Amino acid sequence: QANRVDENAPGSAALGYKHDATKVDTKKFPAYAAGKNCANCMLYQGKPTDPWANCAALGGKQVAAKGWCMAWAKKA
Ligand code: SF4
């Protein structure tokens, strides 16, 4: 899926992004807490039920609903 974010690209790696939030390196990214994920982040540009959606923080590429990065902000 060409339009999906590459976890290993410099921009996403710098934010600690993982498609699977449980794989986040919590030593480097202590802001992660269980239950935080892209689906409940205000930057997720899809419905919470969409498995993939664009994210403005990651260049408008698609991120996984179950993913997470340090730009996470609680959806209002
Ligand atoms: Fe996921 Fe939010 Fe980070 Fe985008 S900003 S990758 S939606 S946690």
Q: Could you tell me what percent of the chain has a pLDDT over 70? A: 99
- The sign of the CA dihedral 29, 34, 37, 43 is negative
* Partners of 26 in beta bridges: none
What ipTM was predicted for this assembly? 0.99
User: Is residue 58 classed as helix, strand or coil in its secondary structure?
Assistant: helix
Q: How far apart are CA 47 and CA 28, in angstroms?
A: 29
* Nearest ligand 1 atom, CA 12: 6
For domain 10-64, give the fold: High-Potential Iron-Sulfur Protein; Chain A (4.10.490)
**In angstroms, what is the span from residue 60 Cα to ligand 1's centroid?**
11
Q: If you count them, how many residues does the chain have?
A: 76
Pocket of ligand 1 (CB under 6 A): 17, 38, 41, 43-44, 55, 57-58, 63, 67-69, 71-72
**pLDDT tens column, 51-73:** 999 998 998 899 999 999 999 99
Distance CA 64, CA 27 (A): 22
